[in-house]
Structure 1
Amino acid sequence: MVSSSNAAHEAQLEGVLTPMAVEADESGRAHYRLQLGGQTLPLNHWLGATLSLSATGDIQCLNCGTATLESFGRGYCRRCFFSLARCDFCMVSPERCHYFEGTCREPQWGERFCFSPHLVYLANASAPKVGITRAGNLPGRWLNQGASQGLAILEVASRRQAGFVEALFREQISDRTSWQRMLKGPPAPVDLVALRECLFERLAAGLEALHQHFGAGSVTPCAGARPFAFEYPALAWPERVRARNLDREASIEGRLMAIKGQYLLLDSGVINLRKYAGYGIRLRLASGAEAAPGQRALL
């Protein structure tokens, strides 16, 4: 259910929450769309508005659509969480792929998803890190992570191979993001091209060993890849990050100050919308007559 009023600068939505859609324009500026109950609402223009958020008590599995008392893996019912390959431990640790042991939960899904080209990348969200994603998922993967910079560095033939490459790079660089630091604003800029060359030099022996193990052409540099830089909609960044929790609070309200990754940053705290995928949500936005949507600049 969606209703809005341009005169009063208000919007009200209700339905099942799915992760926010985000894309960057040519200048690297991120634009967000809230997705609730099959409806979408552009969010950038609502910076400064008062946002009220509450859970209806209903939770729906994003895969099978059935009602569930508890969300597993950020959006699944228990049955789907323990039966879908996308929820298995090897998605977090691809080098532990067990397809060839004959124990993959969904072999046909794994063949389509995991045995397709993947990219190894460098990103800067809270500090430089290494990560992997399917080819074609960039720059969306970086935007969903709240990265301010990103650079694809290697292409590999499968997710499992990407996991081994990422494990090698972890000897020199983290694969984690500090979400609290990420939400305090843009990190210090990093020369990702120079970092790539430094890592290639330091890990040359390990990369050559992977070439020998997986075969010629299995791990190749991303020729011509250019670094990306992103800017997120914000009026101000918090000095201290306080997480809000819809499972413990009847409602959450505050002034929308920024949007980054899958987080809404309010003057009363931050909420990770991805955590509540599948939840029934009631949301209200009210901007006030003194500052209509579309009249606020991004910082």
Structure 2
Amino acid sequence: MMMYSGQLRKMAVSAQPGETAQYSLQLAEQPLQLNEFIGRRVTLSYQGQINCVHCQAKTNKSFNQGYCYRCLITLARCDSCIIKPELCHYHEGTCREPRWGEENCFAPHFVYLANTGNLKVGITRHVSAGVSSRWIDQGATQAIAMLQVNDRLTSGKVEMICKQHVADKTNWRTMLKGEPEKLDMAAQRDYLLEKIKQELALLSHDHSAFDYSIIDSKPIDIDFPVEQYPVKIKSLNLDKTASFSGVLKGIKGQYWLLDDDRVINIRKFAGYQVDLSVEE
């Protein structure tokens, strides 16, 4: 039996086109390669303590996936414009952390389409080796970059235009039920670009600084380390079920999939102090 203890964090992800997504989790000083645990029985136990993932202060409640209330209301990364980039207010001089905003929001952003069980539009900052970690986090089995813009605010405005034609949310239950039907992502991209052509022209006319470029990239297929999908999904909550055991049958998005149809969103419980045991 292998034993680990530490603070839960969002699982780190990586993938190369055509390869299975790789997951890792840092518990204390232990970097755990989670793909190696699939097929083994795991036990995760919440110790009853939560520490903010930013300042490490003890908190009775986790906000925004791991932050204490003080950080929730003071950090730029916890502001509403992170969820809704079209609400960026840096230009109004009210950014909570101007330097953080300059480093993270004033960089090229990509508008993309992904297949997470349904077609969705989204934005991301990084498309390393053709794959964005955001696509893996969302459990996308297919994705394609569509447009590149200069900053986060602009990406939010373009996303708002796209949302008139394509959803911007992932249905996590649909995503976890199995492999979705394959889509012709290049055709979907071309169709959407044609649909929003006039709106992009109007946005360019109304905002002199608006600039974008169409990306002629190939669709990316992403495989996930899943041996068995749940039939009837039952979601685990560490606040209600402090300890659970089961055979880890797969990882998709930020979810662990167990052999008895139970699933847990690891990212949701970032900041929780836990013990993890894994049968050898």
Answer whether contact 2:148 2:214 (CA < 8 A) is retained: yes
Bigger radius of gyration, 1 or 2? 1
- Paired residue for 2:117? 126
Aligned-residue RMSD, C-alpha = 1.5
- Paired residue for 1:281? 274
From 260, 265, 281, the counterpart of 2:257: 265
Answer whether contact 2:228 2:259 (CA < 8 A) is retained: no
For 2:91 and 2:209, the matched residues in 1 are separated by 21
Identity %: 44
From 195, 212, 228, the counterpart of 1:236: 228
- Paired residue for 1:99? 90
Aligned length: 277
Name structure 2 gaps, 5 residues minimum: none
Name the amino acid aligned to 2:248: L
From 188, 203, 220, the counterpart of 2:181: 188
From 181, 195, 206, the counterpart of 1:213: 206
For 1:261 and 1:115, the matched residues in 2 are separated by 27
Name the amino acid aligned to 1:109: W
For 2:174 and 2:29, the matched residues in 1 are separated by 32
Answer whether contact 2:126 2:132 (CA < 8 A) is retained: no
Alpha-carbon offset, residue 136 of structure 1: 4.3
1:215-241 alpha-carbon deviations (Å, 9 max, x no partner): 377111113x22110111111111111
Matched residue SS, 1:82: helix
For 2:21 and 2:127, the matched residues in 1 are separated by 18
For 2:12 and 2:52, the matched residues in 1 are separated by 19
Alpha-carbon offset, residue 35 of structure 1: 1.9
For 1:139 and 1:109, the matched residues in 2 are separated by 21
From 155, 162, 167, the counterpart of 1:169: 162
Matching of residues 1-299 of structure 1 within 5 Å: 10-136=1-127, 138-215=131-208, 218-223=211-216, 225-268=217-260, 269-287=262-280
Matched residue SS, 2:8: strand
For 2:277 and 2:126, the matched residues in 1 are separated by 37
Answer whether contact 1:53 1:284 (CA < 8 A) is retained: yes
Alpha-carbon offset, residue 101 of structure 1: 2.1
Answer whether contact 1:150 1:192 (CA < 8 A) is retained: yes
